[in-house]
């Protein structure tokens, strides 16, 4: 059974004939000699049938027999060279083939790595990014009073569900001791002499701030809920660095210190004024008593 059509077979034959004709001179010479021998044989047979073979045909026959011996030996050597070349090609791998195999292996490894990265982006990074987008949108909505949600104790007490993109309400709850620890080491004197500034009771001032705060609700005993829509976040740039955060924290702490110091000074002034009023009241009382007497 042949797997080659007639048209394909003719194409193969023509390709082989052209290759021999233009590139293989020895085989071409051998085929030409065979054709001449065939024609001479036809001529001699015809002359034999006529009863006499000419001297010219005999001479040409001897010449072609000698040429045949020479061409056959040359052709045999040529066939051996082709056979040896085929054997070498089967056992020897050219450098460019080795390089191509190495490049193919590297490209295959890169393709596998790229496919793994694409799979990671589709199956891991993209779902995380989508969830982050929803969380950011939810966070932004809660910064605006019109779109913010009211967090009631029941909703906050629910366990956080990782499968649902939402703000973890538990992260908005702060223990009183946590808040107190933030202000524990604040130095209200700003590296100045202790006597130059009034003494401020930090914890007492903190308790007053928590009691009157608009951004912290008393959620439970010794627990406070942070309201995003009431907070004033610091703008530190689109891509903040650690220095930016440190600077923002430092500015916030200084602001708190200023407020505490100012509150203490106002309180002292009120105390002084109250004492003055008491002195005036006592003086008026004494004056009134003397008038009556």
Three-class DSSP category at 236: coil
How many CA atoms, within 13 angstroms, populate the side-chain half-sphere of residue 85? 6
The answer on 239 and 218 residing in a single domain is: no
**Does the structure show a pLDDT above 50 at 234?**
no
Within a domain: residue 136? no
Q: Does 184 map to a domain? A: yes
Tokens of 211: 């009691």
Question: E-assigned strands of 52-194?
Answer: 173-175
**Residue corresponding to tokens 């007497």:** 293
Q: Please indicate, yes or no, whether residues 87 and 23 belong to a single structural domain of this protein.
A: yes
Query: What's the pLDDT at 236?
Result: 41
114: number of CA atoms within 13 Å, CB side?
Answer: 6
| 1-10, 60-69, 151-160, range with the lowest pLDDT | 151-160
Identify any residues that bridge with 216 across adjacent strands, giving them in sequence order.
Answer: 226
What is the residue whose two structure tokens read 């199956």? Answer: 123
How many helices (H) and strands (E) the chain has is answered by 9, 3
Read off the pLDDT of each residue in 165-187 and give the average, rounded to a whole number.
Answer: 72
Residue 148 has pLDDT above 60, yes or no: no
Q: Which of 87-91, 160-164, 185-189 has the highest mean pLDDT?
A: 87-91
- Average pLDDT for the chain: 75
Q: What is the pLDDT of residues 235-247, one digit of tens each?
A: 444 555 667 767 7
Domain co-membership, 17 together with 82: yes
**Mean pLDDT value across residues 92-110:** 84
Q: Give pLDDT, residue 60.
A: 87
User: What tokens appear for 187 in the block?
Assistant: 């130095």
Q: Is residue 148 part of a domain?
A: no
- The answer to whether residues 193 and 245 belong to one domain is no
Residue 173, token pair as written in the block: 């709850």
As a whole number, mean pLDDT of residues 113-125 equals 89
Does residue 221 share a domain with residue 269? no
Q: Which residue has the higher pLDDT, 291 or 203?
A: 203
Residues 259 and 183 grouped into a single domain: no
Whether residues 30 and 86 share a domain: the answer is yes
Q: 5 falls in which pLDDT band (50, 70, 90)? A: confident
Boundary residue ending a domain (211, 231, 251): 231
Q: Count how many domains the chain has.
A: 3
Task: Place 195 in a pLDDT band, splitting at 50, 70 and 90.
Answer: very low
Q: Domain end: 201, 231, 261, which one? A: 231
Same domain, 68 and 14: yes
Q: How confident is the model at residue 19 (pLDDT cuts 50, 70, 90)?
A: confident
- Percent pLDDT > 70 in the chain is 73
72-99 pLDDT, tens digit per residue, is: 888 888 889 888 888 887 887 778 778 8
Arithmetic mean of pLDDT, 166-191: 69
Q: Which residue has the higher pLDDT, 160 or 18?
A: 18
pLDDT for res 36: 87
How many CA within 13 A on the CB side of residue 288? Answer: 6
Q: List the beta strands (DSSP E) in the chain.
A: 173-175, 216-220, 223-226
Going by C-alpha positions, the residue among 216, 203, 213, 219 that lies closest to residue 154 is 219
| Position 223 in a domain | yes
Q: How far apart are CA 139 and CA 133, in angstroms?
A: 10
Q: Are 141 and 148 in contact (CB under 8 A)?
A: yes
pLDDT at 271 over 60: yes
Task: Find the mean pLDDT for residues 120-147.
Answer: 74
User: In Å, what is the CA distance from 77 to each residue of 48, 70, 73, 83, 90?
Assistant: 36, 11, 6, 10, 20
- Residue 120 placed within a domain: no
Max mean pLDDT among 6-20, 27-41, 196-210, 256-270 falls in 27-41
- Residue 53 lies in domain: 6-92
What is the DSSP-derived secondary structure letter of residue 125? I
Minimal CA–CA distance to 235: which of 142, 143, 150? Answer: 143
Please report whether residue 274 resides in a domain. yes
37: in domain: yes
Average pLDDT in the 212-231 region?
74
Confirm if 179 and 210 have CB atoms less than 8 A apart. Answer: yes
- Give pLDDT, residue 190: 46
pTM as predicted: 0.32
Instruction: Flag the least confident range among 48-57, 120-129, 235-244.
Output: 235-244
Please report whether residue 115 resides in a domain: no
Of 36, 67, 92, which marks where a domain is finished? 92
């Amino acid at each position: 059974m042949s797997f080659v059509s007639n048209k394909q077979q003719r194409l193969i034959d023509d390709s082989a004939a052209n290759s021999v004709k233009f590139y293989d001179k020895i085989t071409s010479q051998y085929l030409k000699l065979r054709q001449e021998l065939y024609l001479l044989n036809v001529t001699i047979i015809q002359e034999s049938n006529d009863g006499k073979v000419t001297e010219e045909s005999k001479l040409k026959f001897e010449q072609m027999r000698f040429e045949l011996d020479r061409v056959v030996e040359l052709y045999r050597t040529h066939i051996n060279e082709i056979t040896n070349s085929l054997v070498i090609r089967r056992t020897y791998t050219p450098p460019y083939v080795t390089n191509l195999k190495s490049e193919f292996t590297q490209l295959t490894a890169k393709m596998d790595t790229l496919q793994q990265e694409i799979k990671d982006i589709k199956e891991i990074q993209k779902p995380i990014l989508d969830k982050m987008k929803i969380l950011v949108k939810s966070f932004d909505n809660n910064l605006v009073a019109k779109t913010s949600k009211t967090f009631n104790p029941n909703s906050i007490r629910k366990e956080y569900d990782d499968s649902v993109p939402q703000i973890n309400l538990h992260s908005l709850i702060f223990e009183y001791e946590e808040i107190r620890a933030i202000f524990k080491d604040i130095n209200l004197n700003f590296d100045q002499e202790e006597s130059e500034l009034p003494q401020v009771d930090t914890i007492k001032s903190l308790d007053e701030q928590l009691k009157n705060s608009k951004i912290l609700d008393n959620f439970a005993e010794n627990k406070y809920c942070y309201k995003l829509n009431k907070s004033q976040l610091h703008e530190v740039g689109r891509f903040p660095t650690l220095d930016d955060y440190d600077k923002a924290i430092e500015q916030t702490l200084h602001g708190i210190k200023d407020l505490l110091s100012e509150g203490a000074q106002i309180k002292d002034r009120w105390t002084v004024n109250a004492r003055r009023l008491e002195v005036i009241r006592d003086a008026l009382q004494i004056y009134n008593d003397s008038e009556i007497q």
